[in-house]
């Protein structure tokens, strides 16, 4: 058949062009006829899918959008585009306009949260849907809340008479009396023209011709929710519409927008208020193609629309995605609010007071409200707290306020758990949107016994996967500063804290006990989103597969540590001991467990050949186990010291050649000293969740960390349970440097000191900072791969008393993990001399008088 096709076409090129042209004309004629001619067999209001597609195709790609000559400008243009397809609009937009349901779910979640925590039950609630078209959005909202009951009034504002007529029929069918369709230019829509008791509208003369730009014009706001669903990109004069929305929105109202966009990441490099840049970049070809493509239908994708929206309002949540079903069209969802945070509505001295309040919570400085700000108290604070100690959130807020920009998105969250950080810095982007640890390797039971935290304690700890942070929270300390340089580790902690706050125990267990939840995406949007920062929300929206993918093992086979887990699983499959691992986890006695381990599993896992070929390789140790070069050197030095009484246990006493020469044997012995004692002393399936989750990929109801217990959920799901939590995305030194001296009582640095180059000045610098941040009697708890870490002597010279509280000697376990050779408590017994003015001036430069700043 293919060979006959060329013979059908004329051979002359000119004739071929005429032939193709005639074919196109015929095709257009057929589409035109099928689209516009009535069908006797079909209901005109409910056309078939085929006819709906033809109408959409004709109106979007064939029909000229020149208007009908009535001279009504934008309305004329809209009617030219929509009149021919108004009846089939909804049927043809489901796949094209992605993200509408998600945006509605997000704004509904915010409103429900506010209703539960801030608003009286009988308060009016008004929703204005700008460019609402056929009313599809308003009907779709019923999936999340009851529109007739939840909203006192709903206004659909659209400039197309044809679409408004479809909307009126929709709401007449639904019987929703509280929905009013207004066919009007969005720039001139005023709530006071329709509502009698809008705050600020008393004595105001109603008129649809109000001059918004009049200097002394009214500023009347009353809409609790404003939404724009794929309408902002079709409004030519978008500046004036966005400006009008700022006066339409109630002071504590929410805005929700979903729309197409194209933008380069370069445009955002100097902005800290956009809510994050995950997946926001669109490459140059896509930017060029989609702008040209949508321009045919008068849809504007220029970046200025979204930029101006983010400039005029504060960003609560922001997320970027692609419609992969239709050529990967970029679209975004955005939730915003007034530039002035809702928490400051009754703050007389804004912005000074809100910034100072947040700064005090981050730096442990005393907060002085206007009520108790006496001269005497001020002098006391000035003497005790250096003025230059400020949080990075404070610095960012000052810069934004001085430039009349919105505050960073962290200021607009419902909870101030997460502290502002710049996600575009190389020190954060180096992790490439991946956390290393999906679960924490420190034994929380031992931490609890050693630290004995109380209600007066102020704790600083490395986040890791957040498990130990949650364990500390069970003791209800006054404050917990969770610190991690990797933003993604903090995203994981945020998810866990949000899940405590918003989910019942059954869902919480599925997420973090089983590591999988088929409804995770729905929970993220409708339940968790009001309790997360924009960056954390974006991250998990982009990684929903972690919990819902049918092919993966779930949360606990993600992150960098998954490589080690997969190696064990591959070995078990290849060498045929998967059944033995299952039997090990089901063992009821230590003797049964030891026998299975010794005879069937140990020869495979602790194999010298496997160790030399894979495990002892430095790249594997770092990527899979998180062992950096300097920590490996400490492990090698300990091995040399164990072989010779004359050998130093510090890496400083050996050359790199000496250390490297024994790496294979040192790593192998370290594995033996780690794993054998664990098998000897704890039942994996009954009381060792750390190895259970590695071998099984999930926890069990009888064996799991403390934070997963039902009683823990009951305690930490109470209101205010995490009011004292502050999550810092930064180096430990940077955070400690900005804490008021003498305010910390406990610092848990895990094995981070092992990462310093032996003898380097950085270690003594951090120890000095810890000394100044801690109270007298304050403690540092650390673990190390070495029995006697080289830096312990540095602690002792800088005001600390050292005590080794755990040592892996003669086959003994220091805890259920037994991954480290030693555990130390360093108690502060001496204050170091205070820093000189020159040493502490680093953050004083560039200070701004907050009293003169306004939004």
Residue pLDDT, tens place only, 17-73:
555 555 544 554 554 444 444 444 444 445 555 454 445 554 554 455 555 555 455
Digit-coded pLDDT (tens) for 206-228? 444 444 344 344 445 689 999 99
Supply the pLDDT for residue 656: 75
CA distance 226 to 204: 22
Supply the pLDDT for residue 638: 80
Q: Looking at 364-408, list the stretches that DSSP marks H as alpha helix, in order from N- to C-terminal side.
A: 375-384, 392-402
Which tokens sit at 643? 């072989």
Question: Exposed, middle or buried, 646 (CB in 10 Å: 0-12/13-18/19+)?
Answer: exposed
Question: Exposed, middle or buried, 506 (CB in 10 Å: 0-12/13-18/19+)?
Answer: exposed
Please report where in the chains the tokens 């088929």 appear, as a residue: 518
Backbone angles phi, psi at 41, to 5 degrees: -90, -10
For residues 157 and 186, is the Cβ–Cβ distance under 8 A? yes
Query: Count of alpha carbons within 13 Å of 251, Cβ hemisphere only?
Result: 14
Nearest of 370, 375, 260, 273 to residue 323 by alpha carbon:
260
Beta bridge partners of 333: 258, 319
Question: Exposed, middle or buried, 345 (CB in 10 Å: 0-12/13-18/19+)?
Answer: exposed
Domains and CATH numbers, the chain: 2-92 (no CATH), 94-197+218-338 (3.40.50.150)
Segments of the chain with pLDDT less than 70:
1-95, 119-122, 198-221, 341-358, 360-361, 365-388, 618, 620, 622-626, 645-649, 835-855
Which tokens sit at 555? 């949360």
- Helix count and strand count (H, E) for the chain: 38, 14
Cis peptide before 351 (omega within 30 of 0): yes
Whole-Å CA distances, 763 to 525, 598, 767, 771, 772: 43, 41, 6, 12, 15
Q: Which residues make Cβ contacts (< 8 Å) with residue 728, sequence separation at least 6? A: 362, 419, 421, 481, 482, 483, 484, 490, 735
The DSSP call for residue 798 is: T
Question: Which three-class secondary structure state does DSSP give residue 706?
Answer: helix
């Amino acid at each position: 058949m293919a060979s006959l096709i060329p013979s059908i076409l004329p051979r002359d090129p000119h004739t071929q062009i005429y032939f193709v042209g005639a074919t196109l004309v015929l095709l257009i004629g057929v589409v035109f006829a099928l689209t516009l001619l009535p069908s006797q067999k079909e209901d005109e209001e409910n056309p078939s899918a085929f006819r709906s597609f033809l109408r959409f195709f004709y109106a979007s790609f064939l029909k000229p959008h020149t208007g009908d000559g009535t001279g009504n400008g934008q309305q004329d243009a809209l009617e030219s585009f929509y009149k021919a397809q108004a009846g089939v609009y909804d049927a043809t937009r489901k796949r094209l306009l992605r993200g509408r349901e998600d945006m509605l779910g997000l704004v509904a979640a915010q409103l429900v949260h506010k209703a539960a925590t801030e608003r009286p039950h009988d308060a009016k609630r008004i929703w204005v849907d700008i460019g609402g078209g056929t009313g599809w959005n308003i009907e779709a909202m019923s999936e999340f809340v009851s529109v007739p009951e939840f909203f006192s009034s709903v206004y659909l504002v659209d400039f197309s008479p044809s679409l408004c007529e479809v909307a009126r029929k929709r709401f007449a069918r639904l019987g929703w009396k509280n929905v009013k369709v207004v066919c009007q230019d969005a720039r001139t829509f005023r709530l006071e023209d329709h509502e009698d008791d809008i705050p600020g509208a008393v004595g105001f003369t109603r008129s649809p011709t109000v001059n918004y730009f009049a200097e002394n014009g009214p500023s009347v706001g009353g809409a609790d929710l404003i939404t724009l669903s794929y309408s902002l990109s079709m409004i030519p004069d978008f500046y004036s519409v966005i400006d009008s929305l700022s006066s339409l929105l109630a002071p504590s109202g929410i805005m929700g927008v979903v729309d197409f966009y194209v933008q380069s990441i370069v445009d955002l490099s100097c902005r800290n208020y956009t809510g994050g840049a995950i997946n926001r970049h669109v490459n140059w070809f896509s930017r060029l193609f989609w702008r040209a493509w949508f321009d045919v239908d008068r849809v504007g994708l220029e970046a200025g629309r979204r930029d101006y929206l983010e400039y005029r309002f504060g960003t609560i949540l922001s997320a970027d995605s692609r419609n992969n079903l239709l050529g990967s069209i970029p679209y975004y969802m955005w939730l915003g609010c007034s530039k002035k945070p809702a928490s400051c509505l009754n703050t007389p001295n804004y912005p000074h007071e809100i910034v100072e309040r947040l700064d005090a919570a981050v730096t442990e400085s005393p907060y002085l409200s206007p009520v108790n700000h006496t001269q005497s108290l001020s002098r006391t604070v000035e003497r005790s707290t250096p003025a230059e100690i400020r949080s990075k959130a404070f610095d960012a807020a000052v810069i934004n306020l001085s430039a009349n920009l919105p505050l960073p998105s962290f200021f607009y969250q419902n909870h101030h758990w997460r502290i502002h950080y710049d996600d575009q810095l190389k020190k954060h982007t180096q992790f490439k949107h991946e956390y290393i640890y999906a679960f924490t390797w420190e034994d929380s039971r031992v931490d609890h016994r050693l630290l004995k935290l109380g209600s007066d304690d102020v704790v600083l700890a490395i986040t890791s996967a957040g498990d130990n942070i949650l364990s500390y929270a069970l003791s209800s300390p006054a404050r917990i500063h969770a610190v991690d340089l990797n933003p993604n580790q903090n995203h994981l902690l945020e998810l866990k804290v949000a899940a405590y706050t918003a989910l019942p125990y059954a869902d919480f267990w599925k997420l973090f006990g089983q590591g999988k939840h088929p409804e995770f995406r729905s929970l993220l949007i409708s339940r968790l989103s009001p309790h997360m920062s924009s960056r954390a929300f974006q991250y998990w929206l982009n990684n929903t597969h972690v919990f819902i993918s049918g092919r993966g093992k779930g949360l606990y086979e993600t992150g960098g540590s998954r490589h080690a887990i997969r190696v064990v699983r591959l070995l078990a499959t290849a060498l045929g001991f998967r059944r033995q691992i299952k039997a090990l986890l089901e063992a009821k006695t230590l003797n049964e467990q030891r026998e299975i381990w010794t005879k069937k599993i140990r020869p495979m896992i602790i194999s010298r050949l496997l160790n030399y070929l894979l495990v002892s390789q430095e790249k594997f140790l770092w990527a899979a186990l998180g062992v950096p070069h300097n920590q490996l050197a400490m492990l090698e030095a300990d091995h040399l010291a164990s072989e010779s009484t004359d050998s130093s246990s510090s890496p400083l006493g050996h050359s790199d050649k000496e250390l490297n020469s024994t790496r294979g044997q040192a790593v192998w012995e370290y594995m033996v000293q780690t794993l054998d004692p664990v098998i000897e002393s704890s039942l994996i399936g009954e009381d060792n969740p750390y190895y259970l989750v590695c071998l099984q990929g999930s926890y069990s109801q009888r064996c799991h960390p403390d934070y997963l217990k039902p009683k823990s959920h009951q305690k930490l799901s109470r209101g205010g349970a995490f009011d004292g939590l502050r999550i810092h995305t930064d180096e430990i030194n940077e955070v400690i440097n900005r804490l008021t001296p003498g305010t910390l009582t406990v610092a848990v640095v895990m094995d981070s000191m092992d990462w310093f180059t032996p003898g380097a000045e950085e270690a003594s610098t951090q120890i000095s900072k810890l000394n100044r941040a801690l109270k007298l009697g304050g403690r540092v708890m650390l673990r190390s791969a070495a029995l006697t870490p080289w830096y312990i002597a540095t602690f002792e010279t800088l005001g600390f008393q050292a005590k080794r509280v755990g040592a892996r000697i003669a086959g003994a376990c220091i805890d259920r993990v037994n991954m480290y050779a030693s555990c130390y408590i360093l108690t502060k017994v001496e204050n170091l001399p205070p820093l000189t003015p020159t040493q502490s001036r680093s953050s004083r430069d560039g200070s701004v008088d907050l009293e003169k700043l306004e939004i």
